[in-house]
Chains A and B, each alone.
Chain A
Amino acid sequence: MSEHDARAAARDRDAGLAKITSITWRAGAAGVAVAGLLTVALGHHAAAPAGQSRSAIVIPAQPPQPTAGSGQVISGAS
């Protein structure tokens, strides 16, 4: 191999390494970004305490039913 060919091969090798490094960095950065997004999206679920994870006011199984007479208990302000 001539000296010229050896230099060309070295340049090609360096260019290939640079490409691989660039791809590796991009893939790594994308992984970090995706992990960050997942943390933001799911983090509140992980932190939600037991019994408090419902994300909306819970409606009753059925509305109160009308009835006559007095109550067994009174609901009023205190």
Chain B
Amino acid sequence: MTAGEITGDTFEVFGTTAVLLVTSPDAAAAARSIADRLLAEVDLACSRFRPDSELSRLNAAGGEARTISPTFADLLAAALRAAKLTGGDVDPTCGRALTGLGYDRDFAAVRAAGDAPPRLTGPVGPVPGWRQVRLDHDARRVRLSGGAQLDLGATAKAWAADRCAEQIASSAGCGVLVSLGGDVAVAGDPPPDGWRVRVTDDHAAPASAAGQTVTISAGGLATSSTTVRAWTVGGRPVHHIIDPATGEPARSCWRTVSVAAGTCADANTASTAAIIRSAAAPAWLHDVGLPARLVRHDGTVETTAGWPRDDGPWEAA
């Protein structure tokens, strides 16, 4: 087995770009095979845009209980954990709010359609809330109450990145980095100087995009932003990070938040919560001990809990 040389693979998944890096070129093909299998399972479990997904069928079940796959049970458990750990700020019952904003198909199609009239008229109001999701994980039974409609966009990609990295590292015995649309998970022995990650607004930006380069050796790093998955409805600019308290896109003083955590799922939970918590986010991240980089709309930067100093301001990527 050749060691020490990093081999990369880039491909499309979940309507975004995936990057798979391994420290052993001999492991690349097997790593991609593991990733393809796991990502296909996740897509079939929780895509909101596939009528045959378990999530779509559960949303259409009218509140009746359903038996679900182990993968969907794990994804739901991760989403409910994120909700619990953030006091409900990262809530999986935002499906109806997003649909009401016209985000009811792959985002490329939403963006291509241009400005559209809103699907819902009048005040939206709070989302039903994560406690309306009744999951019995061991029995793999779930029921939605209170009109809840699921969207696992805040946690599923990051959870999948963690699982891919763990399974590949365990199987191949080498260092692995998995990025799914900018949600980064690493596992196994890292390269000698760590994994170099460029942190910026948009995961599809060029490597030279305005931002900061850092290294990580374990865990995960995730970025949430109000600037990328954004579109207009009835002439009103909107984005995909829903504040559960209002059912509307979060009004945040931050355009982009990046967080490092023990897992990519936890990093993404915290970065999404930080957007929603707005001015209260730095104190919360500091108290939790999470290193984070928060970028205001004017490009100025604030960091917490040991994140390296950043000499912004930065123009949007």
Contact = CB atoms under 8 A, between A and B. Distances in A.
Contacts of B263: 58
Contacts of B203: 74-78
B137 A75 contact: no
Which of A57, A64, A71: most chain B CB closer than 10 A?
A: A64
Given A47-B137, A49-B137, A67-B213, A72 B219 contact: no
* Interface secondary structure of B, over-half rule: mixed
A61 B194 CA distance: 13
A76 B182 contact: yes
A76 B317 contact: yes
Contact of A63 (B73, B177, B291): B291
Nearest to A76: B203
A72 B6 contact: yes
Given A74-B205, A74-B207, A56 B199 contact: no
Interface residues of A, number: 29
A62 B309 CA distance: 15
A57 B225 contact: no
Given A73-B198, A76-B256, A61 B213 contact: no
B229 interface: yes
B217 to A, nearest CB: 7
A52 B78 contact: yes
Contacts of A73: 19, 21, 177, 179, 184, 195-198
Closest 3 CB pairs of A and B: A58-B262, A78-B181, A71-B198
Interface of B: 6, 8, 16-17, 19, 21, 73-74, 77-78, 81, 85, 136-138, 157, 177, 179-184, 193-205, 207-209, 211-219, 221-225, 227-229, 256, 258, 260-263, 266, 269-270, 288-291, 305-309, 317
